[in-house]
Amino acid sequence: MSLAHEFLMKHRMEPERIVPAEQAEKMAEDMLRGLKGQPSSLPMIATYLSNDGAVPAGACAAVIDAGGTNFRSALVCFGDGGYQVEELNRWKMPGIEKPCTWDEFIAFTADHVQHLLDRADVIGFCFSYNADITPDMDGRVKRIDKEVVVNGCEGKLVGASLKAELERRGIRGKKVVILNDTVAALLGGSSTLDKSAYSGFIGQISGTGTNTCTSVPRRMIEKLGLSGEQGMLINLESGMYDGIEDGDFDLLLDKASNNPGMKFFEKKTAGVYLGELCRLMLLAAGEEGLLSPGSAGKIRALGRIDSAVIDAWSQGKGLEQASDNEADAAFVQELSLAMFQRSARCMCVNLLAIALLTGAGKDKPVCVCAEGSLVQRSRYYRPTLEALLDSEGLEKLGLHFEFHVGSETTLPGSAAAALLNG
């Protein structure tokens, strides 16, 4: 056993501690409690959206994507077997450079979408902030964060506010559908696929943050008093799951975070945290005398690092940033790899749990529509996750998965949400 692996085991951080096939049932049970409205770490947020049917050829929707940094608008038109994004424009989110009011944010939104509405009667609005979705597919804002300051936003209805502003400008009769980025990834990724080839769909965000969504029968969502088999898309907010055992450095990172006691799963899996977890481990390894004084000094001088840094270290690149000899470089590389392997094992638990909850993946594969920097750019994350889905899902549980990794799927996904549900 290597010195690095002994260190990981001592601090309960070794990837093999997480056995997805054994832990998926526990997470599925927590999902079910969330659907029933019982105490659960997973809120299982109803979107009131469906992924049923196919977007008709020739249909167009105006789309808005309000993200943590950028605000985008475009027109998305669907044809036979594909879609086209037209008139795409990008601006800085209002409220980044200086605070703005809710009315100013809505006026900004109307300014940048109204020129598209002579060609579209529906608007798909990907709103990547905390909002409760209403039965008419509007979103009531709980908070806007991510360094964006919009005063007076709490409690406001996004779609109703935009419609009122458009009507003030003489534009009437438009339908606005609100959704988040994980749901948009599912709808965008599946919009051009043959849906009959799959037993279910999962939307997966593995990037700066972590989340998943899926479709469940309405009869399962007991907290809403619904019945019937028609599927409804559910935003799991799976970054909040608390059922994976914490290691020593998970606890240390959580204590130092700006949201202690929250998002335990995201802190084990998301790109924004993996580099910091690795840095905390390397600092401790230096203090425990497992690294040379020179290497320990380099690590102390690093400051906060992100997942791109440890992805390079995993490949053996840039190791001189954290080591001054060959043995310490190997130690740094092994710990870096372990963070991606551990993250992939956690996500495998998540995906297996969804399949167990919904009964999908037995006769036909579950389609995982994935997006985000980890799944798109990390050399190790996606191959590790796919190998785990084979060994833990297919071989142990008989569950089949098929990955479709997309890029910029929030725009077609927002359009599909509006056209399939508007």
pLDDT at residue 267 tops 90: yes
Contact 307, 378 (CB under 8 A): yes
Using DSSP's 3-state secondary structure scheme, residue 161 falls into: helix
Residue burial 41-79, b: 16+ Cβ < 10 Å; e: rest: bbbbbbbbbbbeebbeeebbbbbbbbbbeebbbbbbbbe
pLDDT at residue 305 tops 70: yes
Mean pLDDT computed over 224-241: 92
Mean pLDDT computed over 315-321: 97
User: What pLDDT band is residue 53 in, cutting at 50, 70 and 90?
Assistant: confident
pLDDT at residue 356 tops 80: yes
Contact 200, 355 (CB under 8 A): yes
pLDDT at residue 145 tops 90: no
Nearest-angstrom CA–CA distance, 361 and 226: 25
pLDDT at residue 196 tops 70: yes
pLDDT at residue 146 tops 70: no
Percentage of the chain exceeding pLDDT 70: 99
Give the global pTM: 0.92
Mean pLDDT computed over 260-268: 95
pLDDT of residue 42: 97
Nearest-angstrom CA–CA distance, 204 and 284: 33
Mean pLDDT computed over 163-172: 97
- Cα of first residue to Cα of last residue in the chain, in angstroms, is 58
CA distances, 285 to each of 175, 247, 269 (Å) = 56, 15, 21
pLDDT of residue 406: 85
Burial class (CB in 10 A: 0-12, 13-18, 19+), 100: buried
Cα 287 to chain centroid distance, Å, stands at 35
Using DSSP's 3-state secondary structure scheme, residue 275 falls into: helix
Contact 354, 202 (CB under 8 A): yes
Residue corresponding to tokens 């998926």? 24
Strand segments, DSSP code E, in 299-365 are none
Nearest-angstrom CA–CA distance, 246 and 264: 8
Nearest-angstrom CA–CA distance, 342 and 326: 24
Residue pLDDT, tens place only, 58-97? 999 999 999 877 899 999 999 987 899 999 999 999 998 8
User: What pLDDT band is residue 128 in, cutting at 50, 70 and 90?
Assistant: confident
Contact 263, 237 (CB under 8 A): no
Nearest-angstrom CA–CA distance, 309 and 238: 25
pLDDT of residue 39: 97
Mean pLDDT computed over 12-16: 98
Q: Return the structure tokens found at 305.
A: 């690092």
Residue burial 283-315, b: 16+ Cβ < 10 Å; e: rest: bbbbeeebbeeebbebbeeeeebbbebbbebbe
Strand segments, DSSP code E, in 110-269 are 122-127, 130-133, 139-143, 150-151, 175-179, 200-206, 210-217, 231-235
Residue 71 pairs in a beta bridge with 66, 91
pLDDT at residue 398 tops 80: yes
Q: Return the structure tokens found at 204.
A: 């997966």
Nearest-angstrom CA–CA distance, 277 and 254: 10
Percentage of the chain exceeding pLDDT 90: 86
Mean pLDDT computed over 103-124: 97
Give the containing element (helix H, strand E) for 184: helix 181-190
Residues 6+ apart with CB under 8 A from 156: 102, 140, 141
Mean pLDDT computed over 104-126: 97
Nearest-angstrom CA–CA distance, 419 and 225: 26
Average pLDDT value over all residues in the chain: 95
pLDDT at residue 139 tops 70: yes
Query: Which of 194, 191, 164, 202 has its CA nearest to residue 411?
Result: 191
User: What pLDDT band is residue 418 in, cutting at 50, 70 and 90?
Assistant: very high
pLDDT at residue 408 tops 90: no
User: What pLDDT band is residue 22 in, cutting at 50, 70 and 90?
Assistant: very high
Residue corresponding to tokens 């001054």? 324
Length of the chain: 422
